[in-house]
Amino acid sequence: MNVPEILAEIRSSWIRRVVNSMARGAGVRENFQSQLERFYDLLNQAVVTGDPAWVDPILYDWANAPTQSDLREGEKNLSAVLNRMLTTTYDLGREDLTEQDAMELLGAVLPVFTYALEKAARYEMETRIAYISNELVDVQTKLERLDRSKSSFISVAAHELKTPLTLIEGYTSMMRDIAKSGNGGDGQLDSLIDGVNTGIRRLRSIVDDMIDVSLIDNNLLSLNFQPILLNQIFTLIHNELTESIETRQLIFDLQEFPGSDVMFFADPERLYQAFRNILSNAIKYTPDGGRVAIAGRILPGFIEVTVTDTGIGISAQDQETIFEKFGQLGNVSLHSSGKTKFKGGGPGLGLPIARGIVDAHGGTIWVESEGHDEKKCPGSTFHILLPVRTEPPDPKIAKLFGVDSKQEKEK
């Protein structure tokens, strides 16, 4: 038999063996089989014409087919497939053909496979180089953005730290003048001390935020699990923010929803901090007279809380950035001194801390918004998903609250 006849005779066996050895799953095999049939036809053309370049189109398609994970791990799937094809050809020739036919077949296909392997190596290298080049560009872009963001953070932090320090310095100077004058200042001293304390509290708040970000960044944030009710946390936050809400003439809609009265284990102080940061952010970016609402629902194993506002919204490109350290902080010169005033100031760490706390609980947080528009005010909706733990992770704490932990039940 001539080589084309030999190829026609072993075609079905060859394709079946390669498919079974290289593909898993019926759907994958069906797709892979059609690809092998195409390759086999081109292989036949290359043998008949003596031109191995016939296989170039399918080699190019295969070389550019790897997924991002394949490229990241340095997989060379095309070379492995070609080697498997060559091995299968050799095995079939030895098992099903005469010695003469087997020698003729191998003598005809070996040059084609040698050419294909060289071509595949070049295509794979080009694809890999292109992937690495794109990765380097992405890394450089991220580093440049991080550098700009760090500069912005330093500027905002310096601005925010300067305000309470100036406040403390001014009141302290006035107190010194009163002390030198030898009189009590007609009751002014108490007022000045209150001013100093206000500056100290603001300064401590900024420093505490920086410490929390550092703990989150280094996976050192510890949680004190206790039984909690979300509606109690929301009530406490509402009471704390009442003055700001009334001053801004905002409507605060605290809705009761399934799950708000479900008791589960979490860190009440940290969740209070996370929700306060989220609500403060909603108040800050909602114009006077707007609305902030808390709602939610219970899901299998989770409670979802939503915080919706009628504020200026968040652009699509910033909806992930706002949760990152050194994220979008805006123009320092436009920041007002009050943390709950419209577009008020702050070091921009509230949402990153909130995400770190939610993540530490095993939950997740994201935001939805139609975009940023200070005239139309499309608003934003923050989604917070928290796991409903019926027992704390520490068996000692479980015993303290009279709950049998999983470890105790297994015993």
Q: Which domains does the chain have, with CATH numbers?
A: 150-217 (1.10.287), 226-399+403-410 (3.30.565.10)
Q: How confident is the model at residue 74 (pLDDT cuts 50, 70, 90)?
A: very low
Q: How confident is the model at residue 396 (pLDDT cuts 50, 70, 90)?
A: low
Q: What is the mean pLDDT of the chain?
A: 83
Q: How confident is the model at residue 24 (pLDDT cuts 50, 70, 90)?
A: low
pLDDT beyond 60 at 185 = no
pLDDT beyond 70 at 403 = no
Q: How confident is the model at residue 251 (pLDDT cuts 50, 70, 90)?
A: very high
How far apart (Å, rounded) are the C-alpha atoms in residues 86 and 161? 70
Mean pLDDT of 31-57: 89
Strands 264-266 and 226-228: what pairing?
antiparallel
Check residue 69 and give its pLDDT.
47
Check residue 283 and give its pLDDT.
93
Rounded to whole angstroms, what are the CA distances from 341 to 79, 315, 376? 63, 21, 19
How far apart (Å, rounded) are the C-alpha atoms in residues 341 and 344? 5
Check residue 355 and give its pLDDT.
96
Q: How confident is the model at residue 64 (pLDDT cuts 50, 70, 90)?
A: confident
Q: How many residues appear in the chain?
A: 411
Check residue 201 and give its pLDDT.
82
Check residue 29 and give its pLDDT.
55
pLDDT tens, position by position, 322-364:
898 755 545 544 444 455 667 766 667 889 999 999 999 999 9
Percent of the chain residues past pLDDT 70, beyond the cut: 81
Mean pLDDT of 275-283: 94
Return the minimum-mean-pLDDT range out of 63-72, 185-194, 312-321.
63-72
Check residue 275 and give its pLDDT.
97
Rounded to whole angstroms, what are the CA distances from 6 to 12, 25, 49, 104? 12, 30, 16, 9
Q: Which two tokens stand for residue 276?
A: 């306060």
Q: How confident is the model at residue 171 (pLDDT cuts 50, 70, 90)?
A: confident
Q: How confident is the model at residue 203 (pLDDT cuts 50, 70, 90)?
A: confident
Rounded to whole angstroms, what are the CA distances from 316 to 140, 370, 372, 373? 22, 8, 8, 12
Q: Which two tokens stand for residue 164?
A: 């309470």
pLDDT beyond 50 at 181 = yes
How many helices and strands in the chain, by DSSP H and E?
12, 7
How far apart (Å, rounded) are the C-alpha atoms in residues 106 and 88? 11
Mean pLDDT of 292-299: 96
Check residue 336 and give its pLDDT.
45
Check residue 346 and give its pLDDT.
63
pLDDT beyond 70 at 46 = yes
Rounded to whole angstroms, what are the CA distances from 100 to 5, 43, 111, 303? 14, 20, 18, 73
Residue 145, beta-bridge partner list: none
Check residue 397 and give its pLDDT.
57
Q: Are 50 and 112 in contact (CB under 8 A)?
A: no
Q: How confident is the model at residue 188 (pLDDT cuts 50, 70, 90)?
A: confident
